[in-house]
Chains A and B, each alone.
Chain A
Amino acid sequence: GAGVSQSPSNKVTEKGKDVELRCDPISGHTALYWYRQSLGQGLEFLIYFQGNSAPDKSGLPSDRFSAERTGGSVSTLTIQRTQQEDSAVYLCASSLRGLAQLSSTDTQYFGPGTRLTVL
């Protein structure tokens, strides 16, 4: 079946502009995650959505970053007033059940990412 898709695949923007990144999760997956991958760094958790619950925003680096998930499916990550340090690959993942259940793990499946370059 279809995997996680993200758009655009590449985005070049000027410092100070706003950008929106889109993620379409695997159909039926209740949990959705955003990560950031900078050159030479590991994946950095940004935000996590689980069903209709309030999202876990604990990884967002500043208030310029926000995300929403509409209808429990598609998610949009918005970065306002972009800075050069925001340049990175932004990865989206989805999983079937999410992180709430202590009794089991839940595999996250990743999309191809959006490469953001801020000039």
Chain B
Amino acid sequence: EDQVTQSPEALRLQEGESSSLNCSYTVSGLRGLFWYRQDPGKGPEFLFTLYSAGEEKEKERLKATLTKKESFLHITAPKPEDSATYLCAVQVAQAGTALIFGKGTTLSVSS
């Protein structure tokens, strides 16, 4: 069964304290892996798409990496405005299959 697991469920950081969020996946074939950010009361906001192992993408303080079994979202020197829930989703290779989401990691950054 295709599955996506995110860890930790919650993460508290001090401003400037870098860390990583993990997304591990077990799928029959990966077409793409997506990272979204979700603020309370809002819909998920697209951040990155990764397609193949070894790929990396960056946006401001965020960097996403991908291996054959997992993806990491690295947050460098976070700020309070980075506080949100980060969602990982995979699209499997079978045509017509919708995204499979993890349950998310809720990040809190305090000043």
| Interfacial residues, chain A to chain B (CB-CB below 8 A) | 4, 6, 33, 35, 40-45, 48, 56, 59, 91, 93, 99-102, 105, 107-113
Flag whether B74 is at the interface (Cβ < 8 A).
no
User: Which residues from chain A contact B104 at a C-beta distance below 8 Å?
Assistant: 42
The residue of chain A having its C-beta at the shortest distance from the C-beta of B30 within the complex is: A105
Q: How far is A91 from B46 in the complex, measured between Cα atoms in Å? A: 14
Interface size on B, residues (CB 8 A): 27
Tell whether, in the assembled complex, residue A110 and residue B103 are in contact, meaning their CB atoms are under 8 Å apart: no
Instruction: Take A42-B104, A99-B98 as given contacts and tell me if A110 and B43 are in contact as well, using a CB distance cutoff of 8 Å.
Output: yes
Instruction: Take A42-B104, A105-B32, A105-B51 as given contacts and tell me if A91 and B98 are in contact as well, using a CB distance cutoff of 8 Å.
Output: no
Tell whether, in the assembled complex, residue A100 and residue B103 are in contact, meaning their CB atoms are under 8 Å apart: no
Flag whether B68 is at the interface (Cβ < 8 A).
no
The residue of chain A having its C-beta at the shortest distance from the C-beta of B50 within the complex is: A105
Instruction: Take A105-B32, A105-B91, A113-B43 as given contacts and tell me if A33 and B98 are in contact as well, using a CB distance cutoff of 8 Å.
Output: yes
User: Which residues from chain B contact A99 at a C-beta distance below 8 Å?
Assistant: 91, 95-98
Q: How far is A99 from B94 in the complex, measured between Cα atoms in Å? A: 9
| Interfacial residues, chain B to chain A (CB-CB below 8 A) | 4, 31-32, 34, 36, 41-46, 49, 51, 87, 89, 91, 93, 95-104
Tell whether, in the assembled complex, residue B103 and residue A40 are in contact, meaning their CB atoms are under 8 Å apart: yes
Instruction: Take A99-B91, A102-B31, A105-B91 as given contacts and tell me if A110 and B44 are in contact as well, using a CB distance cutoff of 8 Å.
Output: yes
Q: How far is A105 from B49 in the complex, measured between Cα atoms in Å? A: 8
Secondary structure of the A contact surface, majority rule? loop
Tell whether, in the assembled complex, residue A101 and residue B46 are in contact, meaning their CB atoms are under 8 Å apart: no
User: Which residues from chain A contact B41 at a C-beta distance below 8 Å?
Assistant: 112-113
The residue of chain B having its C-beta at the shortest distance from the C-beta of A56 within the complex is: B96
User: Which residues from chain B contact A107 at a C-beta distance below 8 Å?
Assistant: 34, 46, 49
Task: A105-B31, A107-B46 are known; give 7 further A-B pairs, CB within 8 A.
Answer: A35-B101, A43-B101, A99-B98, A107-B34, A110-B44, A112-B41, A113-B42
Q: How far is A107 from B96 in the complex, measured between Cα atoms in Å? A: 14
**Set A42, A48, A109, A113: member contacting B103, Cβ < 8 A:** A42
The 4 closest A-B pairs by CB, nearest first: A105-B32, A110-B43, A43-B101, A45-B98
Supply 19 A–B pairs (Cβ within 8 Å), ascending by A.
Answer: A35-B101, A41-B103, A42-B102, A43-B101, A45-B98, A91-B44, A99-B96, A99-B97, A99-B98, A100-B95, A102-B93, A105-B32, A108-B34, A109-B46, A110-B43, A110-B44, A112-B43, A113-B41, A113-B42
